[in-house]
């Protein structure tokens, strides 16, 4: 259980960090037009997600993922303090801080449980709830800056004092690594996993777009996603990564196709869809063993950002049609089913 403490604390920090970012973004319409707010939200997303691989590369270069986590939380705190005098600067700080936190936290959490998806699940789950709740509180006009900054500083102190797991930098002799396998084959598998993450993001963002303005349902969907990630982190290793992923995504496909937009089927469908995230995050990490922060940046950042592009381009109403969403989830299932059945994944010792 000791090895789970750090991922759990990082997960708590993830929830607080995303709540801080959501709170900041939620306050924008109070002082800006909807058009200006929308542009700043796009700027935040571009930095918070698209910027992650670059931050990950720098983090791996200096081999200091904890520093990335601490700097990210500190910059997010500064962003909250900057809201009252320069909104644009605050949004830029929030995006950069979020990017740094995610790559460092994702790298550490995954390798805290290197043969399991539990670390990835504990880290990933609270973020979506924090973002939804923080955004709702900010939009409603609540004053939460002082509380959020205090919480950010508290988790910073806790993470700074906790021992780190062994990170896989330059362990070329590790028999469980995939470094000696063909680079082009590994790159192909990484590309397929990231494509699956992007499609997952597309489905999620489509329903998020469809339900915009319905705060209670959005929070319920966020909670469902968090539950799914916890279940995926806990059960995927017990059942086998491939069996869990194919099974849950098949059920998600059926619920979307048959249940449509009914909440009684939509919420479990989203939970099952999001339960694949711990697997894809851990698989990316094992396929990029010498670049843990960069891998986290691709899985938690760039792929998710790419998945949101069709919705931003105005296709959200189409991609949220239940049958189309079901087809997209089926494609995700096929892609991950193939990747998780390959020799390259099998040799890492992470698939039963």
User: CA 126, CA 65: separation in Å to the nearest integer?
Assistant: 20
- Surface-to-core class of residue 171, CB atoms within 10 Å of its CB (0-12 exposed, 13-18 middle, 19+ buried): middle
Side-chain half-sphere exposure of 9, counting CA atoms within 13 A: 24
Does any domain span residue 106? yes
Q: What residue numbers bound the domain in which 17 lies?
A: 2-161
Q: Are residues 54 and 132 in the same domain?
A: yes
Q: Are residues 131 and 203 in the same domain?
A: no
169 φ/ψ angles, rounded to the nearest 5 degrees = -65, 125
How many domains are contained in the chain?
A: 2
208 φ/ψ angles, rounded to the nearest 5 degrees = -60, -40
Q: Of 129, 161, 193, which marks where a domain is finished?
A: 161
Q: Are residues 94 and 209 in the same domain?
A: no
Does any domain span residue 174? no
Q: What is the pLDDT of residues 225-235, one digit of tens each?
A: 999 999 999 99
Q: What is the pLDDT of residues 80-118, one digit of tens each?
A: 999 888 899 999 999 999 999 999 999 999 999 998 999
Please check whether residue 72 is in contact with residue 102, taking contact to mean a CB–CB distance below 8 angstroms: yes
Q: Are residues 330 and 202 in the same domain?
A: yes
Q: What is the pLDDT of residues 285-317, one digit of tens each?
A: 999 988 999 999 999 999 999 999 999 999 999
User: CA 206, CA 76: separation in Å to the nearest integer?
Assistant: 27
Q: Are residues 306 and 205 in the same domain?
A: yes
Q: Are residues 230 and 332 in the same domain?
A: yes
Q: What is the CATH number of the domain that holds 292?
A: 1.20.1250.20
Q: Are residues 24 and 57 in the same domain?
A: yes
Please check whether residue 90 is in contact with residue 334, taking contact to mean a CB–CB distance below 8 angstroms: no
Does any domain span residue 57? yes
* Angstrom distances, CA of residue 343 to CA of 197, 287, 347, 350, 351: 21, 12, 6, 11, 10
Strands (E), 180-339: none
Does any domain span residue 173? no
Q: What is the pLDDT of residues 250-281, one digit of tens each?
A: 999 999 999 878 899 999 999 999 999 999 99
Q: Are residues 157 and 242 in the same domain?
A: no
């Amino acid at each position: 259980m000791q090895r789970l403490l750090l991922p759990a604390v990082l997960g708590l920090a993830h929830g607080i960090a995303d709540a801080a970012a959501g709170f900041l973004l939620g306050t924008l319409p109070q002082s800006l037009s909807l058009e200006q707010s929308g542009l700043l939200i796009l700027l935040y997303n571009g930095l918070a997600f698209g910027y992650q691989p670059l931050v990950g590369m720098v983090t791996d270069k200096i081999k200091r993922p904890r520093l990335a986590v601490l700097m990210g939380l500190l910059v997010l705190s500064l962003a909250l303090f900057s809201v009252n005098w320069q909104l644009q600067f605050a949004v830029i700080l929030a995006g950069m801080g979020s990017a740094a936190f995610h790559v460092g936290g994702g790298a550490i959490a995954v390798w805290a449980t290197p043969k399991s998806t539990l670390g990835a699940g504990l880290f990933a789950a609270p973020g979506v709830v924090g973002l939804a709740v923080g955004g709702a509180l900010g939009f409603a006009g609540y004053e939460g800056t002082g509380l959020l900054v205090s919480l950010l500083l508290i988790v910073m102190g806790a993470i700074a004092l906790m021992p780190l797991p062994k990170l896989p930098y330059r362990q070329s002799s590790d028999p469980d690594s995939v470094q000696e396998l063909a680079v082009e084959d590994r790159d192909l598998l990484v590309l397929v996993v990231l494509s699956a993450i992007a499609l997952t993001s597309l489905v999620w963002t489509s329903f998020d777009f469809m339900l915009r303005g319905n705060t209670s349902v959005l929070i319920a969907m966020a909670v469902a996603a968090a539950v799914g990630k916890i279940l995926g982190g806990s059960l995927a290793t017990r059942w086998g990564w491939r069996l869990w992923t194919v099974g849950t995504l098949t059920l998600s496909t059926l619920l979307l196709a048959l249940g449509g937009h009914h909440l009684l089927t939509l919420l479990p469908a989203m939970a099952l869809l999001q339960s694949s995230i711990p697997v894809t995050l851990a698989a990316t990490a094992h396929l990029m063993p010498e670049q843990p922060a960069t891998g986290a940046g691709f899985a938690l950042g760039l792929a998710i950002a790419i998945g949101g592009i069709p919705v931003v381009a105005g296709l959200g109403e189409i991609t949220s049609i239940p049958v189309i969403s079901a087809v997209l989830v089926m494609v995700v299932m096929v892609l991950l089913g193939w990747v998780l059945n390959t020799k390259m994944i099998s040799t890492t010792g992470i698939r039963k």
